[in-house]
């Protein structure tokens, strides 16, 4: 592989006009496709194989035209102090709002609070439910504007009016912090590479790669039902790895120049060595992201594949566009150790050059490996302690900031009707196989009413055929509580008895039940996913490092860092530590997909640093250095760049903490924390300590396995052979002349 990539690097350097034109054309093509595509909404949400989804599908079949998965909105009214919603003036304002909302082009029906029991017992609060014929992801912007306008008209009468439900779902915003993250990345690149031009190359190529990826996602959003969150997460991961991959190639190019090689040769060597590490690091990220499909949640699968595509583009750009741009830059990108005049280059050195920080740190670790190892493991173990209290759920309006109308509507409904009113359960009774459907409906209602934690059970509402009915159940506790989850399980357990007695199937659905089913499905998939992803990457790393213990150490180190990061997420978003600093207005359960998403993404990113750092150590070992010295050599050449890459990735991920979307905010914090732990504790401390303790045993591989594995030559031994052959030719020529 090193030889192939070496030739690719030289080709890209020589044919830079062609390569640059290709990427510019690809960016323009993707941009044109995005410009002409319909705007993306939020991806439709379905969970195959769950009871809640089965009930939704049954409702669509048995209640045609009711839009079981259509968007809903609750317009909540509160009377001024000392008044009631039943007062004539307030009642007239509400009925006028109901009439105004009923005229919407996508509206199926609007409930009248005074006819459907929508007024609280004390008369201070009322609500009208609006049902739309399409889902919140497909709702026209004009319908949302009409909903807001109707609420604003009602406010003019003196009422407090807020809107809840999924009809107001908005495209999440990432905020200005993302720009700050890129700014931090730029500063780190300038310091690391010692040149404004060299620092600009990784930023430029990362932006090109993310532009192609996000534009392609936007162009295909309508066709493939890709939501707005998909492009945000793809840009988050693509930007981070794009900068890092380009940084490693540029850094290796400068190191090759410092060895005295020509610029074209240095470009080829950089792609042949650092480029090999980029390929395998990218492969681990792609495996982790595509592996999300095993969960069988379409939205998560699409997010993973889209992000994996952006990572693949970042890898290809690092291998081709970077050497092409280095060709354009010429002498303005200086050898390693030299700075541009603008940054202080060209000055005479007053004293002998000292060993760099990476060399000093690695030397310290190899002298005291056991102490460093124990300190790192204990520290990460302490950070992981809060993960033992992890509670999972999916965000609802109760987790929104208090400044939003959705959150204020949620609070008003809780005040007027109880906390469980925000998470009603929909019971679907399928009596098609029952001899007496009406008796089945009644028995289902009676048995559910007798359960604990039930506030109200509405009468059964059968369909026209009379073979299926829905029953609305209001729990006593809020939607995200353990008590409500227990109630869902109790209803499903009671459904088995009802089926035995009547032959009717009882299914529980609704947003609350769907969230519970999603959490359970994600929990069930976590271990198989972990086995698949870690197993495949473990095999890949055996091929890369030609070792059993090094990949095993990499996997165990990853588990430490991801558990510590989950502990930090629990401490901030569930316990409320530093919540004000992180902009967390409401603590609660951790998003259900957080553990599995972090496992996938963090594993891929952790392997990036493992590959970049350990390949340089292995390269030194393969070229004859003793194990301890190889660790020091590897750190001398790669610690500075890995540190810079980690800081850049942390900065980029931290930028997404400013997002308006709670899922994106939490993922940004979790990934930034995981990279911090993994890069600076696991890879920079635990890895060299373990390698120092293992010595030559770290690179042990059974002979039969060594013969069976393909030789991918990540350390560039084949390029060293080219050097030896060239030197031999030179010697032969000298002998001929003599």
Give yes or no for a contact between 177 and 127, defined as CB atoms under 8 angstroms apart.
no
Using CA atoms, how far apart are residues 126 and 95, in angstroms rounded to an integer?
11
**pLDDT in the model for residue 505:** 92
Going from the C-alpha of 160 to that of each of 223, 291, 414, the distances in angstroms are: 41, 48, 15
Q: What are phi and psi of 550, to 5 degrees?
A: -65, -50
Pair type for strands 590-591 and 392-393: parallel
Using CA atoms, how far apart are residues 50 and 203, in angstroms rounded to an integer?
44
Using CA atoms, how far apart are residues 398 and 415, in angstroms rounded to an integer?
13
**pLDDT in the model for residue 228:** 63
Using CA atoms, how far apart are residues 372 and 370, in angstroms rounded to an integer?
5
pLDDT tens digits for range 8-38: 999 999 999 999 999 999 999 998 988 877 6
Using CA atoms, how far apart are residues 100 and 145, in angstroms rounded to an integer?
12
Going from the C-alpha of 152 to that of each of 97, 112, 157, the distances in angstroms are: 10, 18, 9
Nearest to 518 by CA among 475, 491, 480, 469: 480
Using CA atoms, how far apart are residues 108 and 539, in angstroms rounded to an integer?
55
Using CA atoms, how far apart are residues 204 and 618, in angstroms rounded to an integer?
31
DSSP 58-91: HHHHHSTTS-TTS-EEEEEEEPPTT--TTSHHHH
Question: Which run of H or E residues covers position 108?
Answer: strand 107-110
What residues have CB less than 8 Å from 296, skipping those under 6 apart? 48, 49, 521, 525
The tokens 């994600």 sit on which residue?
A: 522
The pTM score is: 0.77
Q: What are phi and psi of 719, to 5 degrees?
A: -70, -35
Using CA atoms, how far apart are residues 319 and 236, in angstroms rounded to an integer?
21
pLDDT tens digits for range 164-207: 887 876 555 555 555 777 788 788 888 877 778 888 888 899 88
**pLDDT in the model for residue 720:** 62
**pLDDT in the model for residue 156:** 92
Handedness of CA 258, 259, 265, 270 (dihedral sign): negative
**pLDDT in the model for residue 349:** 46
pLDDT tens digits for range 655-677: 778 776 677 788 889 989 998 99
**pLDDT in the model for residue 214:** 86
**pLDDT in the model for residue 602:** 80
**pLDDT in the model for residue 351:** 46
Residues with pLDDT less than 50, the chain: 42, 342-344, 346-352, 732, 735, 738
Nearest to 688 by CA among 636, 646, 648, 738: 636
SS (H, E, C) 569-630: HHHHHHCCCCCCCCCCCCCCCEECCHHHHHHHHHHHHHHHHHHHHHHHHHHHHHCCCCHHHH
**pLDDT in the model for residue 342:** 47
**pLDDT in the model for residue 631:** 92
Q: Is 155 buried (19+), middle (13-18) or exposed (0-12) by CB count in 10 A?
A: middle
Give yes or no for a contact between 132 and 167, defined as CB atoms under 8 angstroms apart.
yes
What residues have CB less than 8 Å from 415, skipping those under 6 apart? 125
If you ran DSSP here, which 8-state letter would residue 461 be given? E
Q: Please list the alpha-helical segments (H only) found in 656-686.
A: 662-677
> How far, in whole angstroms, is CA 44 from its chain's centroid?
18
Using CA atoms, how far apart are residues 640 and 612, in angstroms rounded to an integer?
12
Q: What are phi and psi of 151, to 5 degrees?
A: -65, -40
Collapsing DSSP states into helix, strand and coil, what is residue 348?
Answer: coil
Nearest to 68 by CA among 133, 153, 138: 133
């Amino acid at each position: 592989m090193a030889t192939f990539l070496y030739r690719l690097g030289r080709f890209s350097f020589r044919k830079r006009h062609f390569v640059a034109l290709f990427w510019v054309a690809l960016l323009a093509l993707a941009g044109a496709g995005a410009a002409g595509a319909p705007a993306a909404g939020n991806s439709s949400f379905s969970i195959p194989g769950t009871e809640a989804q089965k009930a939704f599908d049954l409702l669509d079949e048995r209640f045609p035209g009711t839009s079981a998965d259509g968007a809903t909105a609750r317009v909540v009214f509160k009377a001024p102090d000392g008044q009631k919603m039943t007062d004539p003036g307030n009642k007239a304002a509400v009925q006028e709002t109901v009439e105004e909302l009923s005229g919407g082009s996508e509206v199926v029906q609007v409930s009248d609070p005074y006819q459907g029991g929508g007024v609280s017992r004390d008369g201070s609060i009322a609500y009208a439910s609006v049902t739309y014929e399409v889902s919140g992801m497909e709702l026209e912007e004009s319908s949302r504007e009409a909903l807001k306008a109707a609420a604003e008209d009602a406010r003019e009468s003196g009422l407090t009016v807020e809107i809840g439900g999924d009809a107001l779902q908005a495209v999440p915003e990432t905020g200005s912090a993302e720009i700050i993250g890129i700014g931090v990345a730029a500063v780190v690149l300038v310091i690391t590479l010692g040149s404004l031009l060299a620092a600009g190359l990784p930023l430029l190529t990362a932006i090109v790669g993310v532009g192609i990826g996000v534009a392609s996602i936007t162009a295909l959003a309508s066709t493939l039902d890709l939501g707005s969150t998909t492009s945000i997460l793809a840009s988050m991961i693509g930007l981070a790895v794009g900068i890092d991959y380009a940084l490693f190639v540029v850094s290796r190019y400068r190191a090759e120049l410092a060895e005295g090689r020509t610029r074209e040769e240095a470009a080829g060597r950089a792609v042949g060595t650092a480029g090999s590490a980029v390929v395998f690091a990218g492969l681990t990220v792609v495996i982790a992201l595509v592996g999300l499909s095993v969960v069988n949640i379409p939205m998560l699968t699409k997010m993973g594949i889209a992000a994996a595509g952006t990572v693949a583009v970042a890898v290809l750009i690092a291998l081709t566009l970077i050497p092409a741009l280095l060709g354009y830059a010429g002498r303005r990108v200086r050898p390693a150790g030299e700075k541009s005049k603008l940054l202080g280059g060209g000055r005479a050195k007053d004293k002998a050059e000292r060993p760099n920080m990476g060399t000093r740190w690695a030397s310290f670790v190899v002298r005291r490996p056991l102490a460093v190892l124990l300190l790192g493991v204990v520290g990460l173990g302490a950070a992981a302690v809060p993960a033992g209290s992890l509670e999972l759920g999916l965000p609802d309006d109760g987790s929104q900031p208090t400044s939003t109308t959705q959150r204020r509507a949620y609070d008003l409904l809780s005040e007027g009707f109880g906390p469980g009113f925000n998470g009603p359960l929909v019971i679907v009774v399928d009596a098609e196989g029952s001899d007496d459907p009406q008796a089945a409906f009644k028995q289902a209602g009676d048995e559910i009413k007798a359960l604990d934690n039930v506030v109200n059970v509405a009468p059964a509402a059968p369909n026209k055929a009379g073979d299926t009915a829905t029953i609305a159940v209001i729990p006593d506790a809020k939607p995200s509580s353990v008590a409500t989850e227990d109630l869902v399980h109790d209803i499903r357990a009671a459904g088995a008895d009802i089926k035995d007695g009547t032959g009717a199937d009882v299914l529980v659905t609704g947003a609350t039940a769907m969230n519970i089913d999603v959490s359970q499905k994600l929990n069930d998939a976590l271990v198989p996913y972990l086995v698949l992803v870690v197993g495949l990457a473990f095999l890949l790393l055996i091929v890369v490092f030609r070792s059993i213990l090094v990949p095993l150490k990499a996997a165990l180190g990853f588990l430490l860092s991801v558990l510590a990061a989950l502990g930090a997420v629990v401490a901030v978003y569930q316990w409320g530590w530093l919540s004000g600093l992180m902009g967390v207005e409401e603590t609660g359960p951790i998003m259900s997909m957080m553990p599995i998403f972090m496992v996938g993404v963090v594993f891929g990113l952790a392997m990036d640093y493992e590959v970049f750092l350990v390949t340089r150590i292995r390269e030194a070992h393969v070229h004859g250095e003793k194990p301890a010295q190889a660790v020091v050599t590897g750190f001398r050449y790669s610690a500075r760049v890995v540190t810079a890459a980690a800081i850049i990735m942390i900065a980029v991920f931290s930028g997404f903490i400013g997002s308006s979307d709670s899922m994106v905010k939490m993922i940004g914090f979790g990934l930034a924390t995981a990279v911090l732990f993994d890069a600076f504790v696991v890879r920079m401390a635990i890895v060299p300590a373990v390698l120092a303790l293992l010595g030559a045993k770290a690179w042990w591989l059974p002979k039969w396995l060594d013969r069976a594995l393909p030789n991918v030559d990540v350390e560039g031994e084949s390029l060293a052979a080219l050097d030896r052959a060239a030197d031999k030719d030179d010697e032969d020529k000298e002998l001929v002349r003599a």
